[in-house]
Amino acid sequence: MMIEPQFFDARDGVRLAWREMGEGRPLLLLHGLFSSGEINWIKFGTAARVAAEGYRVIMPDLRVHGSSEAPHDEEFYPPDVLVHDLEDLVAHLDLADFDLGGFSLGARTSVRAVVAGMKPKRLILGGMGLAGLAGWQRRGRFFKRVIAEYETAKRGDDTWLSIQFMKTMKVDRIAAGHLLDSFTDTSPDALAALTMPTLVVCGADDRDNGSAPELVAALADARLATIPGTHMSSVTQPELGEAIAAFLTA
């Protein structure tokens, strides 16, 4: 299903895109690194499954991703710039009562937004463990290598699959490098801000961002849903949409 993007300007003038599906209670879903709203949520049916429960599913393309702009100047990538963009989208759409979630980078960004003061009623963290929030630097170094080895990696290298995904998604490497530098760690004590009901949903073979059970244990009101797949494949599974729908309608 193709859904045409809509656009708005962030506070720094960068043009950002979002897509919507369904009507009802707003749910913002943020995609993973090098992906897009369309690939992460629409292509494999997750958004449609959630929309069927009476939700207005709002899926931004984060800056540097999908249909959003990817400026090359460092000034467009201050710390937590993706949080600022999310705040600007919430303001643009005049949302007051909504739910929020994301996968991988989208989950990180959702957590950072709540730590910064955003107050969704419910929170969904996909493909995320405790180390993926508190220990971003290790993961960040991996993605820096992905960019550095873009032209030289060989099949079998640990960066190979991520590079192929970047190429498929036509990610701008210069902008992506700046964006990686804007990410900040979330210390375990900062997670005290996450008091709302939270779903942690993670592939059974996904270890990319640390332990999902450890993240559940660190949160005030969280539950774990384990679905089939690795970090790359779990977003393609119908169980992802089923888990989110079950959480939102419980």
Residue 142 identity:
F
Q: How many domains does the chain have?
A: 1
Q: For all residues of the chain together, what is the average pLDDT?
A: 96
121: domain CATH number? 3.40.50.1820
pTM higher than 0.95 for the full model? yes
Query: Region 177-199: what's the mean pLDDT?
Result: 94
Burial class (CB in 10 A: 0-12, 13-18, 19+), 155: exposed
Query: Region 154-166: what's the mean pLDDT?
Result: 95
Whether 1 maps to a domain, the answer reads: no
Whether 214 maps to a domain, the answer reads: yes
Whether 244 maps to a domain, the answer reads: yes
Query: Cα(35)–Cα(41) distance, rounded to whole angstroms?
Result: 10
Cα dist from 146 to 33, 85, 141, whole Å? 12, 25, 9
Whether 107 maps to a domain, the answer reads: yes
Q: What is the helix (H) or strand (E) element at residue 181, kind and residue range?
A: helix 173-181
Angle at 188 between CA 235 and CA 110, to 5 degrees: 40
Sign for the pseudo-dihedral over CA of 156, 157, 158, 163: negative
pLDDT-above-90 percentage for the chain: 94
Give residue for tokens 């779903």.
Answer: 199
How many helices and strands, by DSSP H and E, does the chain display?
10, 8
Q: Give the structural domain span for 210.
A: 6-249
Query: Cα(234)–Cα(203) distance, rounded to whole angstroms?
Result: 5
Q: What token pair was written down for 167?
A: 């190429």
- Per-residue pLDDT tens for 12-39? 999 999 999 999 999 999 999 999 999 9
Whether 102 maps to a domain, the answer reads: yes
